[in-house]
Structure 1
């Protein structure tokens, strides 16, 4: 290797029955590359190298993000509304909203992981209804095109907000429960548009422009 060549990037390679290459940068800065089963290794390496600058930018962005804290008095978001955590001791986990406060009871109120888990489970109990409503409200146009209603799965996703599988599942991140309904609708529309185009090329973005003309503004709220 030439001594001026940049050092190789470390990444996890996941092969599957997909058709395209994809690179993801996780919250912790680690990199995952997804590739077709039989794609030559040199092509994977070339793809990763072509995305080197983007990967570094994403890693720097992840590193600069402030750590989310889960203590009494800390802020917490629910559907875009700012709430204040009120954490107290309780025999078992419980969460309830009271006005602009989110009351969380856990056995050890100083255990931030336990507080985080309790809040995420509270989100999960509300997420399926919220996400399913958005899907069904925006789906009729796609139904007219002959598509079948995808099956919702709510998941903790480390590196993306949503995905659409060829097996008929729409996966949405539980963390979307922090964002306003307009942002949730954007992610849902993005995934529904993949029913027509399983890529992010010009045709996909043209469809997004037709179905949700203000999607770039909604995306900026999500990115921010």
Structure 2
């Protein structure tokens, strides 16, 4: 399937356009900040795409407003009493200053940070970031193994990183997957949704009808998981 890309700005909104061999035009608005992407038939030109966007402009703006108005955490100061999300649950942070190696652990409903005295706020955030990454490194391999069996594919490499506009991504040529460290804050069902979603791109590059059919077949409740993911509070440091 041949494709060509274009970038349009319509009424102040930047639009990614992909022209390909399809019958109908599709418009998508994607989290976390409302990126707009259009898949258009090859027979369309930029003016036709622009007109289609204008006709759907009110819907596009509603979707973007919904995503951007999602609850966001205030900037974390890493002090006792503030809340942090871990696997979809809000936990109260307790900071314990004492000599020795810094580490975090779950204690009942609390998230406890053990840290040397006078550790800076930035360093405490770094400890938390490393801990979130460790949580994902423990959870992701089993999910990938499950989906490798489900889809009959193998994942040669995957990486956790901080991403500002995506929950995950897939390089179809190398089959390398990337996962946003923020996923450690979300419900485990959200992480499985992203793992399955990115691995589904091995079969279909774009989010068109074929991709939707694959998701429906292999993860029938993916829409509920997507809504759970996008309805959860967003981290201040990643999404603003």
Q: TM-score, normalised by structure 2?
A: 0.66
Higher relative contact order (CA 8 A, sep 6+): 2
1:152 is aligned, of 149, 158, 161, to 158
What is the RMSD computed on CA atoms of the aligned residues?
Answer: 4.0
Matching residue of 2:103? 94
Distance 1:172 1:24, change over 3 A: farther
Aligned residue-pair number? 206
Q: Residues 209, 64 of structure 1: CA spacing in aligned structure 2 closer, same or farther, 3 A cutoff?
A: closer
Does the alignment pair 1:187 with 2:194? yes
Unmatched 5+ stretches in structure 2: 1-8, 21-27, 38-45, 232-240
**Conserved in 2, the CA contact under 8 Å of 1:25 and 1:31?**
yes
Structure 2 residue 185 is matched with structure 1 residue 178: yes
Q: Residues 77-156 of structure 1: matches in 2 within 5 Å?
A: 77-90=85-98, 93-104=102-113, 105=115, 107-108=117-118, 111=121, 113-143=122-152, 147-156=153-162
Name the one with the larger strand percent: 2
1:202 paired to 2:176: no
Q: Secondary structure at the match of 1:185?
A: helix
Structure 2 CA distance for partners of 1:114 and 1:55, relative to 1, 3 Å: farther
Is there any run of 5+ residues in structure 1 with no aligned partner, and where?
1-5, 34-41
SS in structure 1 at match of 2:163: coil
The question of whether the paired residues in 2 share the 8 Å contact of 1:153 and 1:172 is answered with yes
C-alpha distance in structure 1 between counterparts of 2:140 and 2:125, whole Å: 21
Could you list the runs of 4 or more consecutive aligned residues of structure 1 that deviate by over 3 angstroms after TM superposition?
Answer: 6-11, 23-27, 29-33, 49-67, 88-93, 106-110
Q: Which residue matches 2:168? A: 162
